[in-house]
A and B are shown apart, each in its own frame.
Chain A
Amino acid sequence: MNAFQHLHLENLQAVTRRHFFGKLAGGIGAAALASMLEPAAFGGSMPIDPMAPKPPHFPAKAKRVIYLHMAGSPSQLDLFDHKPKLVELNGQNCPDSLIKKERFAFIKGVPKMLGSPYKFAPAGKSGLMLSELLPNLATVADDICVVRSMWTDQFNHAPAQLFLHTGSSRPGRPAMGSWLTYGLGCESQNLPGFVVLTSGGKTPDGGASLWGSAFLPTVYQGVQCRSQGDPVLYVSNPEGMSSKVRRESLDALRDLNQMHLKQVGDPETLTRISQYELAYRMQTSVPDLMDISKESEAVKELYGIEPGKVSFANNCLLARRLMERGTRFVHLYHWGWDSHGTSPGDDLMTSLPQRCKETDKATAALIKDLKQRGMLDDTLVVWSGEFGRTPMNEERNGSKFLGRDHHPHCFSMWMAGGGIKSGATYGETDELGYHVAKDKVHVHDLQATILHSMGLNHEKLTFLFQGRDYRLTDVHGEVVKGLLA
């Protein structure tokens, strides 16, 4: 323990002692007491480290989460939800009963049914039906659990992504990763607890609100690690400043801050000193984290990484590295799954296979790699889009390219590890893949289930804001017991 850590610890103890055991002046109300006992419930900044690991509500299977979000929403009917009947009815008019009173984003008039142009085959011991577009995922079929009965309230991208990740379709609620770090803290001393990685050339439609902490303290906000430029903003020393100069100027800064602490006596100054030390440690740990070149050739090959580029494969490997280092929640976004079929750039025949090619190998590699390292048991991997796609061809403005419109009534996703069943499927859709036929899972149920896997009761993980206890699942959500191992 260096001198600084010693001082920090001493003061933390002093502050903690004061807060927990100090005599309360009669003027301090119960609310102030409560906020002292529960630092995170308190709007201001606290001298107690809000990122310190906290115990879950009950013993948990999963300790950390990797969420792979395919922004734009991949077609479940061409990847996971095999519908021979739809192939049979290909090209026929959609029955009136299905489209009456329905709001579509783009479909106009009476659309035609669209059977998947792709072949499905059973994979793994479980015989999971998977599309030929996902040959690598097929090799880990026995490690995942596919849910075919997801549904959501939203059918536009930004609101649906917000709904999935914050529980509300309007901006202004904390992201799932923020809730989890708020509830559980972070096991890493040198890295953020909630990290966001993006690929596919664009940030997702919902923007930074998807990883914002909203009314939770900003410390729980997702930190975007970038593949180009500074991996974490401003983590590099400025041009011309060596690490020696940096260290010595930080020493001077610490000394000056301590002198001021003596003059003024505000413990907040001490927290500031400790944050500069953590920042200094991040300056080493972040570049080390991002340096995937040190991984073995076998691992590089497994993921198919492309050093120096922005790629989904790189991000998958980074996610694993973050998990190893104690980060609580990693969110990967890959853009470009919005297969409307207005051009080859967004259709089922050119664009969809391309996106699958960009992600399939690395996704399977992530599962295999986590498993090899014995990390899959306590790491929850989740893969999804934000909604489903229609069983009908969109044919916007008479387009000849095959595509599907947005569809909130059903979609598929999968989970792996972290106390979730493996080699299983959950839920069914009707024979046309239009509605859920069995075991509906609403977005709020999924959120409740993810929190449950992490040992948190979604009804108890709350934050008092504007006179109301808010939670990720709003006033809904039930843990899907059928998904739990």
Chain B
Amino acid sequence: MRFTRTILSFVTCLLATSSVAWLRAAELPSAPVDFKKHIQPILESRCLECHDTKKHKGGLRLDRLDDLLVGGDSGKAGVIRGKSAESYLIHVVSGIDPDATMPPKGEKLTAEQVGILRAWIDQGALWPADAAVQQKIHWAYVKPQRPVEPKLSWSERRWAKNPIDAFVLARLKQEKLKPSAEADRAQLLRRASLDLIGLPPSVDEVEAFEKDRSSDAYAKAIRRLLDSPRYGERWARPWLDLARYADTQGYEKDNRRSMWPYRDWVISALNRDLPFDRFSVEQLAGDLLPDATQAQKVATGFHRNTMTNTEGGTDNEEFRYEAVVDRLNTTYAVWMGTTINCAQCHNHKYDPFTMTDYYRSMAFLNSTQDADNDDERPTLKVFAAGQEQTLADLRSKQSAAEKALADAVKSEAFTRDLAGWEQRTTAALAKWEPIEILGATSDNGTTLTNLGPGEMLAKGEVRDTESYTVHGKAGMKRITGFRLEALPDNSLPGKGPGRAQGNFILTEFKITVGGQPVKLVHAGADFSQPSYPVGNAIDGKDQTGWAVGSELGKRHLAVFATESPLAVDGATELTIRLEHQNKEFTKHSLGRFRLSATSSTTVTNITLPEEIQKLLTTAPEARDSKQVARLSEFYRDRSPVTKTLVADAAKAKKAADDFLNSIPITSVLAELKEPRKTNRHIRGSFLSKGEEVSSGTPASMHAFPGGQPTNRLGFAEWIVSTNNPLTARVTVNRIWESYFGRGIVETTEDFGTMSETPTHPELLDWLAVEFMHPTIPDPDGRVAAPWSLKHIHALIVSSATYRQTSKVTASLLEKDPFNRLFARGPRVRLEAEAIRDQALAVGGLLSAKLGGPSVMPPQPAGIWQIVYSGDNWETPKNEDKHRRGIYTFWRRTSPYPSMMTFDAPSREFCVVRRVRSNTPLQALTLLNDPVYIEAAQALGRRVLAEKPKANDRERIEHAFRLAVSRKPTREEASRIGALLDAKRVEFAADAKSAESFATSQLGKLPDGLTPTEAAAWTVVANVLLNLDELITKG
């Protein structure tokens, strides 16, 4: 330090004058330069990348003195002993020579570094013979080896619980610090419980733990917590930030997508402690595993959480490329703590990754089928246990029903029945005869032209409303029904049959004979527009009618049956009125139509599809096999022999289909048959493609594992190879951060050369190696499987380091404000989800339901104002209102507000490290959000219900224990008591406020509880739920 300061003042002095002047003014600093300590690091970190044994750019090596003395291609001596001002090395590193500034990449050398180099040259440029100058490999790129545990004294061994403590203690001793005492039992159990399952312990659990004096009491508690299904929910939380899991697609429309089966997979995989290497491979390439299971395919949802842009007019290929970029960056960030994203546009400035490395890695991920499609294909149906069997059962029931039907159709009974029906129907088939037109008029001036038997065409200006009156005769003795055919015509807009872009609204169809109206009782049509059924034409109402919108340009027909047969003779004049009186949709008149009448008895048969009528009138021997089959198929629904069988088969099919449709889907990765070409993208731009690249891993990293395919699966195996220097370190570091608030490497997201130096490098390496190759047995003497996450959790939580109290003294705070040395236990604000979960748990409201579709707990109205879709936030009435935060519906462009306030990310991209802020909006949320008011009401009621006979003091103690696990001090209890008393008085005087404050969220009070009492306790509960201690893990 002293040396540096001397040099610094020297340099500062030099900098005050101009650069030329200071070269002349060179002056020897007094402190001697130590080559190994001062010069070697500069050469190694800043020069050797280009000037070493392998690469000697400019014909120069800087790993030996000779070259420096002679100089490279420039012919200028890099170092002239004793003359730093004339040494070319100094010219280039200080920027004196504008044409050759070194180093060409990254930051310039600092004034201090230049000063040190000058001092070294001026002192004679001593280069010790044993100095092994070589390019330094950043520690994180060297495979971790299990370090030797520091030796501990007898008394230290009594404190230490496992090797973690040995490393921590060794460091504390260096700093002359002592570890803190163990936390008391309530604090310890609360801490471990919040850490391992994300929920506080129950009062019973705390009391039992306090009473259990057996030596393995804590070990048992840890085991219980690790075995709890809540463990998976809690530890899925940070993983879902990495996986950028959300329930919507992102970008403009941000529509819903179904990804929750992936979320449930994560929870389940963690609960069954799927080894981390398999956990990783299944997510990156589960689909490519031999005989991939459904679960392994669901796991690939990890990379289907990228956003999908469904905005109109977007280029799908552009956003597919963006998704692949995201996948690549995320993969390296999550598993290797590597900022490879820098190499998308240029070679990485600090870490050994070139732009080519970037696109070669991309090639592994670039051949999946997904392509920014709105429907998210490819997707997978996700069957729960037993559901596939259920579906198979339903399908076999369906087949059985279908077979029964098929058999029945083949039976003699059906054949006989069909023949009888054919005969009867054919005989009774309505025979329509056109009405002979005598004349036609219109009310408002439309011209009607007779085109042929019974047929008219409307011409002239289309009137807003219009009615046609047609006079005619029918050549039959009795009339049982009338038929109106609406016919297309090229002269009509949209080819008719109506005059309003092809449509019409027939508001009434009326028949009069001899001045007497004929009652029409039944109407049928081959087609009716929804909301315009044909029955409207005989309902006597002007504003309803028959229309055929969406089926325009075609012939349609309507039939109307008379109430009783109408006796006529050849002379009887029929008056037929076609009315179009709709005032809302004007100008909807018929264009071309034909009128007919029938005397058949079965007017209902009139509505037999024309196709069937035609078949029936075709002689049986003239029908081809298709026609025979069609008739049989048509009659199946009607035949007493098969009718119920048809219904049964349809029902069975519907049951199976409905069941299949109820099976949730999730998006998965699936490989294309032919891999996509991958190109380098110039400056990372989607539009500027460079040369094609083949897949491959960065040359600077460990080798691609032998025997692995060169595809996404091989890439995944490369990532989790035990030769990978990063994956295990990065993972244990992130876990450590969850416990202590900061990682051993503080920059959990970056282990590159720009990362923070680890505070405990040996501890980090020990944990990483122990993770891959476990040796420490659990309390039952079992050694965990390699890559067991639960093993690492158990080790950390069992350590004496973790078990210390988090109390901090002023002197400790001064020495180590951020607890980077671990001379005390962790004290960290809880994460967004845990804060809400805890409030619900303390209030006794939390649902224990595991997994399933995301839920929509209460949020203020108007948060969702969604462009285009009318999608709504609908709060459930059942226990889904009170599920853990991990199940809250996550809309990327409008995330759940209270969680955002507590620093939850929007999940549009991978977040390795959540920030922890402390803002007034957080205070407002905990004070006023109805969710927390509900929890306060519930906690108030809970205390009174669980301690019915107790006095205030006992109740306060119980409430306090429910909230923060420990007993209140006398001072705390009396402060709460004072608040309770004061509020009782106030609410007693204001019954209305008391009532609403105590019941606004939870509703009616239980019998015997007065609003005053409930309201006063709700105030107390509201205060407890806002305690700093409550929202902090301490």
Contact = CB atoms under 8 A, between A and B. Distances in A.
A64 interface: no
Contacts of A25: 175, 815-816, 821
B242 to A, nearest CB: 13
A206 B906 contact: no
B979 A223 contact: no
Given A44-B742, A171-B250, A156 B920 contact: no
B313 A245 contact: no
A374 interface: no
Nearest to A22: B814
Contacts of A232: 921, 924
A260 to B, nearest CB: 5
Contact of A45 (B829, B993, B1028): B829
B331 to A, nearest CB: 14
Contacts of B426: none
Contacts of B333: 466
Interface stretch (B591-599, B909-917, B943-951): B909-917
Interface in A165-197: 170-172, 192
Given A44-B742, A156-B314, A170-B909, A233 B1023 contact: no
Given A233-B924, A234-B925, A264-B806, A252 B976 contact: yes
B928 A236 contact: yes
Which of A155, A170, A223, A252 has the most B CB atoms < 10 Å from its CB? A252
Interface string A121-157: 0000000000000000000000000000000000111
Interface stretch (B766-774, B847-855, B996-1004): B996-1004
A240 B990 CA distance: 9
B895 A205 contact: no
B254 A207 contact: yes
Interface in A21-43: 22-23, 25-29, 31-32, 36, 43
A181 B597 CA distance: 84
A466 B341 contact: yes
Given A218-B919, A219-B917, A233-B897, A256 B754 contact: no
Contacts of A272: 918, 923, 1028
A230 B918 contact: no
A97 interface: no
Given A28-B816, A275-B922, A279-B923, A264 B339 contact: no
Given A25-B175, A156-B313, A276-B923, A259 B817 contact: no
A106 B816 contact: no
B915 A44 contact: yes
Given A27-B171, A158-B252, A255 B975 contact: yes
A269 B817 contact: no
Contacts of B992: 240
Contact of A252 (B746, B817, B927, B979): B979
A268 B1027 CA distance: 12
A309 interface: no
A201 B808 contact: no
Contacts of B927: 234, 237, 246, 276, 279
A207 B924 contact: no
A467 interface: yes
Interface in A396-414: 405-406
Contacts of B978: 252
Contacts of A468: 339, 342, 754
Contacts of B806: 264, 266
B299 to A, nearest CB: 25
B598 to A, nearest CB: 45
A43 B915 contact: yes
A5 interface: no
A19 interface: yes
B918 A203 contact: no
Given A212-B906, A238-B1000, A467-B339, A268 B865 contact: no
B755 interface: yes
Given A208-B894, A238-B928, A268-B827, A45 B918 contact: yes
B322 interface: yes
Contacts of B502: none
Contacts of B862: 226, 228-229
A239 to B, nearest CB: 4
Interface string B718-751: 0000000000000000000000011000110110
Interface string B304-330: 000101011111000000100010000
B924 A256 contact: no
B818 interface: yes
B145 to A, nearest CB: 23
A235 to B, nearest CB: 6
B751 to A, nearest CB: 9
B707 interface: no
A203 B313 contact: no
A278 B976 CA distance: 23
Contacts of A223: 921
A246 B867 CA distance: 38
Residues of B in contact with A, size category = 35 or more
A263 B916 contact: no
A259 B319 CA distance: 54
A201 B865 contact: yes
B45 to A, nearest CB: 15
A257 interface: yes
Contacts of B867: 202-205, 335
B861 interface: yes
Interface string A376-393: 000000000000000000
A104 B918 CA distance: 45
B894 A31 contact: no
B810 interface: yes
Contacts of B634: none
A438 interface: no
Contact of B808 (A103, A215, A265): A265
Contacts of A27: 171, 174-175, 759, 816, 820-821
Contacts of A45: 829, 915-918
Interface in B151-169: none
A158 B250 CA distance: 10
Contacts of B759: 27, 29
A252 B892 contact: no
B200 interface: no
Contacts of A236: 928
B407 interface: no
A242 B313 CA distance: 53
A267 interface: yes
A240 B993 contact: yes
B254 A265 contact: no
Contacts of B742: 44
Interface string A246-257: 101100110111
B807 interface: yes
A209 B747 CA distance: 24
B1023 A253 contact: yes
B971 to A, nearest CB: 6
B210 to A, nearest CB: 18
6 contacts: A172-B909, A208-B906, A212-B906, A218-B917, A240-B1000, A279-B921
Top 5 closest pairs, chain A to chain B, by CB? A207-B893, A105-B313, A240-B997, A240-B996, A279-B923
Interface of A: 18-19, 22-23, 25-29, 31-32, 36, 43-45, 50, 103-106, 155-159, 170-172, 192, 198, 201-209, 212, 215, 217-219, 221, 223, 226, 228-230, 232-242, 244-246, 248-249, 252-253, 255-257, 259-261, 263-269, 271-273, 275-276, 278-279, 282-283, 335, 405-406, 465-468
Interface of B: 171, 174-175, 250-252, 254, 307, 309, 311-315, 322, 326, 333, 339, 341-342, 350-351, 741-742, 746-747, 749-750, 752, 754-757, 759, 806-810, 813-818, 820-821, 827, 829, 860-862, 865-867, 892-895, 897-898, 900-901, 903, 906, 908-909, 912-913, 915-925, 927-930, 933, 969, 971-972, 975-976, 978-979, 982-983, 986, 990, 992-998, 1000, 1015, 1019, 1022-1023, 1026-1029, 1032, 1034
